[in-house]
Structure 1
Amino acid sequence: MSVWEFGFLVLAGIGAGLTGSIAGLASLISYPALLATGIPPVTANVSNTVALVLNSVGSVSASRPELKGQARRLLPLAVAAVLGGIAGAVLLLLTPSEAFERIVPFLIAGASAAILVQRPPRDLAARGAQHHRPGAHDPRWLPVGTFVVAIYGGYFGAAAGVLLLALYLLATGEGLPRGNAMKNVILGVANAVAAAGYVLFTSVAWSAVIPLAIGCLVGGRIGPAVVRRAPQAGLRRVIAIAGLGLAVHLAIQAFSG
């Protein structure tokens, strides 16, 4: 890997960390950046998952105050995330490269559309609080919902954080800080399990993972400060529209070859 490519992936990682903070769509930046360096689609997705583990570590460590008292509720959700992450990783490893290349545009388009139409997290938290009685237990179906989202997270992952956050805010009645902390842990578990499977059973482009992970760490660290000052609604729309454009571009490449 050239010095230019190394620097490019560091910058892409920073952008991915920032994008993840704003819209939960880090892969919209990091995945096409890996493709731009000439890495094949499946290897790019695998390497992207491994690099984003560092982003999850940072977000979880920053969420410790909000995680106090949540250990008991997180245990079954973490088990569901482990199983879902394994299932997603196996699904990816069994998907032929050509098929994956044709599936990805639809995954990115769906993730971008979810960002575009998603209600603000604070609105979701308020709605969840209205339907959740004080002292009530979490719904029994919550681990099942977590399992389903974790399968998607292990397979590709773009906007998996958005789906989990919406799920937890609506189902638990928790406020945004604690719901987001739950999401950070569970998404990190699913991502780490999938990444471990990829490291053991398939090829990872480590020369690309290292600079991308460095950038993700930096972007993840400065992301919250940027988000506090940035107009989030407008930025989310820009990111979503860019994602739809990327989906069209990748679809043209996949289906014209």
Structure 2
Amino acid sequence: MTGLDQLAVLLAGVGAGVMTSTVGVASLLSFPVLLAVGLPPVTANASNTVGLTPGAVSGSFGYRAELRTHLGITAMVVATCAIGAAAGAALLLTLPADLFEAVAPWLILTTCVIVGVQPPLNRWLRRRHTEMVDRTSASPLTMAFSLLVGVYGGYFGAGSGVMMMAVLGLGLDIDFRIINGLKTLAVLASNLVASVIFLARADLDWRAVALLAAGSIIGGYAGARLGRRLPPALLRTVIVVVGVIAATTMLL
């Protein structure tokens, strides 16, 4: 990578850290940048997961009080997402690289749709939880969908936080603030497990990993402050535009 390439990756890490604290789809910003600087898709995906893990750690630490509220649900989220991520990471490394290159654009476009519907989804979930009932244990169906989100997180990951918020919001009746914390923890669990596997078996670009890690730590800290000032609609629009351009480029 040239000096400008490295600066672009560092800035992508900062932006991804900010997105973790705001929109929640960090990989949809950083992954296309890694592709743009010349990394092969599988290497870019694995390096992206490892590099953004520090940002997920700091985000989960910020929700530590919420995560202690329902320890059983917290344990379920960690267990299902960790198991699912192990399977997803194994699929990424075992299946042909050409398959990932073929499906990645469609995964990106799907994530763009998810980002687009996130505001009404969040509003609906908030309304749903204004009158909560005593449903604070995860059903087998909720655990199954949580496992599938973990698989997706280990294989690709972009938008997995939004998916987990929907799963927990539909399957449980707990405070929305706690769901947001559990969503962040789910991303951390998936990233940690996938990162361990990628460190052992994947072809990583260590410069990209280091630059993303440094940037995501800075962005994660700044995101809590900056996210309060920037219009969420602007951030979401930027993410969707970047994602559509990246997916179109890969398809062509």
TM-score by length of 2: 0.92
Letter aligned with residue 39 of structure 2:
I
Deviations 1:49-84 (A, max 9, x none): 101111111101111121222222221222111110
Q: Partner of 1:255 in structure 2?
A: none
CA distance in 2, matches of 1:44, 1:163: 22
Secondary structure at 1:158 match in 2: coil
Q: Partner of 1:143 in structure 2?
A: 143
Q: Partner of 2:245 in structure 1?
A: 245
CA distance in 2, matches of 1:135, 1:20: 28
Closer, same or farther in 2 for the Cα pair 1:26/1:135, shift >3 Å? closer
Closer, same or farther in 2 for the Cα pair 1:85/1:218, shift >3 Å? same
Q: Give unpaired runs (5+ residues) of structure 2.
A: none
Superposition RMSD in Å: 1.8
Seq. identity, %: 35
Secondary structure at 1:80 match in 2: helix
After TM superposition, give the deviation of residue 213 of structure 1 in Å: 0.9
Q: Partner of 2:186 in structure 1?
A: 186
Q: Partner of 2:46 in structure 1?
A: 46
Q: Partner of 1:168 in structure 2?
A: 168
CA distance in 1, matches of 2:249, 2:2: 26
Q: Give unpaired runs (5+ residues) of structure 1.
A: 253-257
After TM superposition, give the deviation of residue 164 of structure 1 in Å: 0.5
Q: Partner of 1:7 in structure 2?
A: 7
Question: Contact (CA 8 Å) 2:77, 2:182: kept in 1 or not?
Answer: no
Q: Partner of 1:83 in structure 2?
A: 83
Q: Partner of 2:71 in structure 1?
A: 71
Deviations 1:205-245 (A, max 9, x none): 11210011100111111112122122213432342243223
Question: Contact (CA 8 Å) 2:73, 2:137: kept in 1 or not?
Answer: no
Letter aligned with residue 168 of structure 2:
Y
Deviations 1:80-130 (A, max 9, x none): 111100110011012212221111100000000111123252431321454
Greater alpha carbon shift after TM alignment, 217-226 vs 14-23: 14-23
How many residue pairs match? The answer is 251
Pairing 1:106–2:106 present: yes
Deviations 1:163-199 (A, max 9, x none): 0112212222223321111111122111110111011
CA distance in 1, matches of 2:150, 2:138: 18
Pairing 1:125–2:114 present: no
Greater alpha carbon shift after TM alignment, 218-227 vs 237-246: 237-246
Question: Contact (CA 8 Å) 2:12, 2:30: kept in 1 or not?
Answer: yes
Question: Contact (CA 8 Å) 1:125, 1:174: kept in 2 or not?
Answer: no
CA distance in 2, matches of 1:235, 1:36: 20
CA distance in 1, matches of 2:170, 2:124: 10
Closer, same or farther in 2 for the Cα pair 1:201/1:210, shift >3 Å? same
After TM superposition, give the deviation of residue 135 of structure 1 in Å: 5.8
TM-score by length of 1: 0.91
CA distance in 1, matches of 2:104, 2:135: 42
After TM superposition, give the deviation of residue 136 of structure 1 in Å: 4.9
After TM superposition, give the deviation of residue 2 of structure 1 in Å: 3.9
Question: Contact (CA 8 Å) 1:125, 1:173: kept in 2 or not?
Answer: no
Closer, same or farther in 2 for the Cα pair 1:137/1:97, shift >3 Å? closer
CA distance in 2, matches of 1:28, 1:184: 16
